[in-house]
């Protein structure tokens, strides 16, 4: 069985003490242990940002990609060997800014990967500029007079892009976040887990205290049905005095890989290519 200790590296995280990334790292390791996933069958793909360092501190296979490009790399890995558990991690700038196009199309394709977004509502690695999810009026190094743009709503965007698993967690509730990640990995299809992740160094507004006063679990609302997309949209726009966390929406449908007969029996990476002749293709391109 995979243990928490097996997933722990000798190198120690260099995040700021108290950073919400620690909660996400712990929850992800807990989820891998709970699912008893062999560490050599797990690949974690990261983008650029504070979150991009996460694969360095968890003992699985990993790929550190370019800014905003975690999802295309994760999709490529999944298509090359769809037997692997592929988990992408990135920040709100990485996923909801420069990587927005990849985010939308990976969801509508329903590629069977899990995407964990470290949403701290600021650019933390570059010392505190406004990000796509920063709240309107937020003052930062890049918006000293207050941000004039409304923030991206990742939950609503995911629902509109036909994401088959949409959830939100809070880095300050590791047990609940672990449960969401377990569900996301188990889900057959694209699973988004947007994580409210306080940046204790540069975001003075969206703190642990801010979220602890506001978050509530959708699971505790007996009237809520996560298979109802209309209700999910309503909850997606609930922000302010009350902020919902948990599973917003889930549906079962074929994955992108299910539609590819070429990999129905054998993963692409294990197929014999010795007898494949591509000389005609080369001649055509010359």
Q: Cα–Cα–Cα angle for 173, 24, 246, nearest 5°?
A: 50
CATH placement of domain 21-259 = 3.40.50.970
Q: What is the pLDDT of residues 38-52, one digit of tens each?
A: 999 999 999 999 999
Q: What is the pLDDT of residues 162-178, one digit of tens each?
A: 999 999 999 999 999 99
Report CA torsion sign: 34, 19, 130, 149: positive
What does the pLDDT read at residue 286? 86
Q: What is the pLDDT of residues 189-223, one digit of tens each?
A: 999 999 999 999 999 999 999 999 999 999 999 89
What does the pLDDT read at residue 20? 97
Under 8 Å CB-to-CB from 110, ≥6 apart: which residues?
162, 164, 189, 190, 253, 254, 255, 256
- What confidence category does residue 60 fall into, taking pLDDT thresholds of 50, 70 and 90? very high
Mean pLDDT of 137-151: 95
- Gyration radius (Cα) of the chain, Å: 19
Residue 155 has pLDDT above 80, yes or no: yes
Mean pLDDT of 227-247: 97
What does the pLDDT read at residue 2? 86
Mean pLDDT for the chain overall: 96
What are the residues facing 277 on neighbouring strands?
Answer: none
Pairing relationship of beta strands 114-119 and 191-196 according to DSSP bridges = parallel
Q: How many CA atoms lie within 13 A of 45 on its CB side?
A: 24
pTM as predicted: 0.95
Q: What is the pLDDT of residues 64-74, one digit of tens each?
A: 999 999 999 99
3 vs 248: CA distance, rounded Å: 30
SS3 content of the chain, % helix, strand, coil (to 5): 35, 15, 45
CB 107 within 8 A of CB 158: yes
Q: What phi, psi does 255 have (nearest 5°)?
A: -85, 170
């Amino acid at each position: 069985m995979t243990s928490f200790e097996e997933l722990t590296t000798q190198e120690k995280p260099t995040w700021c003490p108290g950073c919400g990334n620690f909660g996400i790292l712990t929850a992800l390791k807990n989820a891998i242990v709970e699912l008893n996933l062999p560490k050599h069958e797990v690949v974690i793909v990261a983008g650029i940002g504070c979150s991009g360092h996460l694969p360095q501190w968890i003992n699985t296979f990993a790929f550190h990609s370019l800014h905003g490009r975690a999802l295309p790399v994760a999709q490529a890995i999944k298509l090359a060997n769809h037997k692997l558990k592929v988990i992408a991690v990135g920040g709100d700038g990485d996923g909801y800014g420069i990587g927005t196009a990849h985010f939308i199309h990976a969801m509508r394709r329903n590629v069977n990967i899990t995407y964990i977004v470290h949403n701290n509502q600021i650019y933390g690695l570059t010392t505190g500029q406004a990000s796509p999810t920063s709240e309107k009026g937020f003052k930062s190094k890049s918006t000293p007079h207050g941000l004039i743009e409304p923030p991206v709503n990742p939950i609503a965007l995911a629902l509109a892009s036909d994401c088959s698993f949409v959830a939100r967690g809070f880095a300050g509730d590791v047990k609940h976040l672990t449960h969401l990640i377990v569900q996301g990995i188990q889900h057959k299809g694209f699973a988004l887990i947007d994580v409210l992740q306080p940046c204790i160094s540069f975001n003075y507004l969206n703190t642990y205290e801010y979220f602890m006063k506001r978050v509530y679990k959708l699971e505790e609302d007996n009237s809520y049905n996560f298979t109802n997309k209309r209700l999910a949209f309503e909850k997606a726009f609930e922000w302010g005095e009350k902020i919902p966390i948990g599973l917003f929406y889930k549906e079962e449908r074929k994955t992108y890989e299910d539609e590819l007969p070429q990999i129905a029996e054998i993963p692409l990476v294990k197929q014999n290519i010795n007898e494949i002749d591509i000389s005609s293709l080369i001649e055509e391109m010359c």
